[in-house]
Structure 1
Amino acid sequence: MIEARDTGASQASRPKGGQDLRPEDRDGPRRRAKSSGSRTPVIIVAAVVVVLAVAGAAAFFLLGGDEEKESAAPGNGARLTPVAYTPQMADKDMAKLAQRAADQRPITQGEAFPADVKTVAYQKYSFSLAASQLAGDCKAVTWGQRLQGDLAKYQCSQIARGAYVSQDRKHVGQFVAINLASQEGAEQIVRDLDPATGAGFVYPLTAPGTPDFHAGFSAAYAQAYGHYAIVTWVQRAGGVQPASLNEMIDASLAIEKPADFVWGRLELVDGTPR
């Protein structure tokens, strides 16, 4: 079961280990449709109204307040963490992609962000890719001592980031792919990215002329795919509170299309087209 954790809620009101929120039935994302028949596609989030407690809860959205708004590297936004976070570990379909030793070719810009991910859509949400970046320095595009320590420990070699904006400019999204040496490392990074750990997060990629990610409500969904950690992170422009988490999950399903490159990698390692 995937947990959807509202990290802006008080500890007293949040069940131990995160709150399980079940969604309305919906089609699974493209990447899940490509998996074997034994895999059951699930994204568990409820159609519930997310109520932010008080204005003071904004402290949860932007760690450390103004002090944390240090000068970021070009292309990096502010130090932010999502309010709702959904982690998922790798499943058996990814076993042959569990080690980078079997998949040594570096990700390329064209592979992660080909022409067919320049415009993406799911349900009523349609997004355009406003900017993309492939970083070989994993520390430069992340913050947090513990996260950066684990990225080094598990030999992060690349982080691909894509900034998306919806056609109506009411939503923004971030796609992130992290290349680790092993599935063990990818799963550890998925755990580190949970805001409850305080380990750190990936900087949102900024794109000139498009809304930046802001302190406020946002939701991120992370999963290990073999030795890759894939993250989709979405927000109403300006950090406005969504009507429900279903709005966030549907938006995230649109911008996760670049994750298709992982299935291409799996086909090459496996030798069996899917």
Structure 2
Amino acid sequence: MSARSKRRRSSFEVEALSERGLTEKQQRILFAVGTVIAVLVGGFGLTAIVSTLGVSQPPAEQGTQADSIGLLHPDEYQAWVSPKLFTPIADRRADAAPLRAEEVFGVKTLTSGKLTLKLAARRLDGACAPVMWGGDVLAKLAGAGCTQAVRGLYLSADRRYIAQYTLFNMASSKAADAFVQEMSTLYRGGGWVRPLESKAASFVPDGYTEASGHAMGHYAGFVWVGRADGQEPAPKDDFVSLILGVRGAEKAIYRRVAAVTGPAAPPAK
């Protein structure tokens, strides 16, 4: 191939634009104008110009795996609706006091069998949207009347496991039930809880994790666990104890039920 031929192939001709009927001259004008506008308005100009010439951009996928690129979500998920035990706090009006981080994550060490979990980080957010990612999930969350989200991140004493517990303050038991159940279809690509950042512990990108959602009256709690190295659980890994351990944070909700119902009546003589 001659040097001249090589130079001709390095022109502004783009196959995708040629297929849409744009001549090489039109393509040169397009790129020249687009470059100037991109400099002026931060890169948006070229997209707008291409659109006006009939060269369409593929629509962004909503609520699909495309949303989850680079964002963590569990590999397995189970949902549980609210038991009757939490009926006294089925409506937030009966339990109006806002959550506090120290109320849910005041205990720095949780134990379950031989497993010990140590609190690595905790955070209370006065809004729920910043705690989750995914357009579909955020749309569901907006309709649930969520006002608060509190997260706690744990690392096992042997540094083998990592676990995060997230508690959402919803408007009602109906909203909490619906949300944990809807996550059964949304967790893989539609959205999930954002992990807390900590120097002590973090979920491994693309590592294996498991999760579950638990409605408790007008609260929705999400358990998220995995091995610290991101590997799938081996026969000796006790994820059951891990899940039960991190759910120790739910004692705060049981205390709220007791606050509404009052102390138990003494046994009859």
TM-score by length of 2: 0.69
Q: CA deviation at 1:225?
A: 0.3
Q: Does 2:94 correspond to 1:84?
A: no
Q: Counterpart in 1 of 2:215? A: 224
Larger Cα-atom Rg: 2
CA–CA distance in structure 2, aligned partners of residues 254 and 122 of structure 1: 5
Q: CA deviation at 1:226?
A: 0.2
In structure 2, relative to structure 1, the CA distance for the partners of 1:220 and 1:273 (3 Å cut) is farther
Residue 208 of structure 1, aligned match among 170, 186, 199: 199
Contact 1:82 1:195 in 2 (8 A): no
Q: Counterpart in 1 of 2:58? A: none
The AA in structure 1 aligned to 2:170 is L
In structure 2, relative to structure 1, the CA distance for the partners of 1:111 and 1:273 (3 Å cut) is farther
Percent of counterpart pairs with the same letter? 31
Q: Report the 3-state secondary structure (helix = DSSP H, G, I; strand = E; otherwise coil) of the residue aligned with 2:238.
A: helix
Contact 1:63 1:81 in 2 (8 A): no
Q: CA deviation at 1:144?
A: 1.4
Q: Report the 3-state secondary structure (helix = DSSP H, G, I; strand = E; otherwise coil) of the residue aligned with 2:151.
A: strand
Q: CA deviation at 1:149?
A: 1.3
Q: Report the 3-state secondary structure (helix = DSSP H, G, I; strand = E; otherwise coil) of the residue aligned with 2:138.
A: helix
In structure 2, relative to structure 1, the CA distance for the partners of 1:190 and 1:229 (3 Å cut) is same
In structure 2, relative to structure 1, the CA distance for the partners of 1:136 and 1:85 (3 Å cut) is same
Q: CA deviation at 1:245?
A: 9.8
The AA in structure 1 aligned to 2:74 is P
Deviations 1:109-147 (A, max 9, x none): 221111xx2011112211100000001121111011121
Contact 1:145 1:200 in 2 (8 A): yes
- After the TM superposition, which of the residue ranges 220-229 and 207-216 deviates more from structure 2? 207-216
Contact 1:145 1:199 in 2 (8 A): yes
Q: CA deviation at 1:100?
A: 0.2
CA–CA distance in structure 2, aligned partners of residues 131 and 234 of structure 1: 15
Residue 135 of structure 1, aligned match among 125, 129, 133: 125
Q: CA deviation at 1:246?
A: 6.9
Q: CA deviation at 1:192?
A: 2.5
Q: Counterpart in 2 of 1:241? A: 232
What RMSD in Å do the two structures reach over aligned CA positions? 2.2
- After the TM superposition, which of the residue ranges 204-213 and 153-162 deviates more from structure 2? 204-213
Q: What does 1:55-66 align with in structure 2 at a 5 Å threshold?
A: 63-64=65-66
CA–CA distance in structure 2, aligned partners of residues 91 and 125 of structure 1: 27
Q: Higher helix proportion, which one? A: 2
The AA in structure 1 aligned to 2:75 is V
Structure 2 unmatched runs, 5+: 1-63
Count of residues in Structure 1 that have an aligned counterpart in Structure 2: 201
CA–CA distance in structure 2, aligned partners of residues 223 and 210 of structure 1: 24
Q: Report the 3-state secondary structure (helix = DSSP H, G, I; strand = E; otherwise coil) of the residue aligned with 1:126.
A: strand
The AA in structure 2 aligned to 1:207 is S
Q: CA deviation at 1:259?
A: 0.7
TM-score by length of 1: 0.68
